[in-house]
Amino acid sequence: MSVSQATSFAFQVSCGWCDTLRRSVVGALSSLYGGIVTSRQLQANYQVAERLAGRGDFKGMTVREVASLINQKTL
């Protein structure tokens, strides 16, 4: 095996390992980021619901009910 062949083989093995590691990390971070975004959206929806509950179209509704309606439309 020449030096060129050995180098090429080592590069292919290390790139395969790096690619697998990258996919694992990206998958985990994507899930974490998705959870953070969803959590922030729920917080924002609840804050809006606090302002809308009992007013206008939401008269007679609790904050929880209004938040549930908003969540259905935004998530």
Arithmetic mean of pLDDT, 3-20: 69
Do 69 and 55 form a contact (C-beta atoms < 8 A)?
Answer: no
pTM of the model: 0.67
Chain mean position to CA 66: 24
Please give the mean pLDDT across all residues of the chain.
87
The pLDDT, as a whole number, for residue 11 is 64
Arithmetic mean of pLDDT, 26-48: 94
Arithmetic mean of pLDDT, 11-22: 74
Residue 26 confidence (pLDDT) above 70: yes
